[in-house]
Amino acid sequence: MSMFSLDSSKTKKEELKQQIRSEFALANAQELINKMSEKCYSGCVPKPGKSLSRTETDCLSKCMKKYLEAWNMVSQAYTRRIQEESAKGSK
């Protein structure tokens, strides 16, 4: 019992950090899903029918993969640029 109270404030702090991290991660995932749905819906479902066809769901899976790859590409390009600019700035 005393062991617990000894590091309980440290545990609380880590819990709070973890909670903050997962809230940010959730917001990021929601944004990703929103944008990806928009792009893949307009790219794969040009004429919405009564349900998604096999062709459409195949397209959606491929589109999702492509969107994630593009996102990572953009992220790398942007991060590289920020690093270059800050290296320039510090000279």
Partner 1 sequence: MSTPNNASATMDPETQKEMAQFLEVEQSRAQLQQAVHRFTDMCWDKCVNNASTPLDHGEESCFVNCVGRFLDTSVFLVKNLDSAQNL
Name the site residues for partner 1 (rule: CB under 8 A).
9, 13, 16-17, 20-21, 24, 27-28, 31-32, 35, 38-40, 43-44, 58-59, 62-63, 65-67, 69-71, 73-75, 77-79, 81-82
State in angstroms the smallest separation of the CB of 50 from partner 1. 21
CB contact set of 59 (below 8 Å; sequence gap of 6+): 40, 43, 44
State in angstroms the smallest separation of the CB of 3 from partner 1. 20
d(CA 65, CA 39): 12
d(CA 29, CA 23): 10
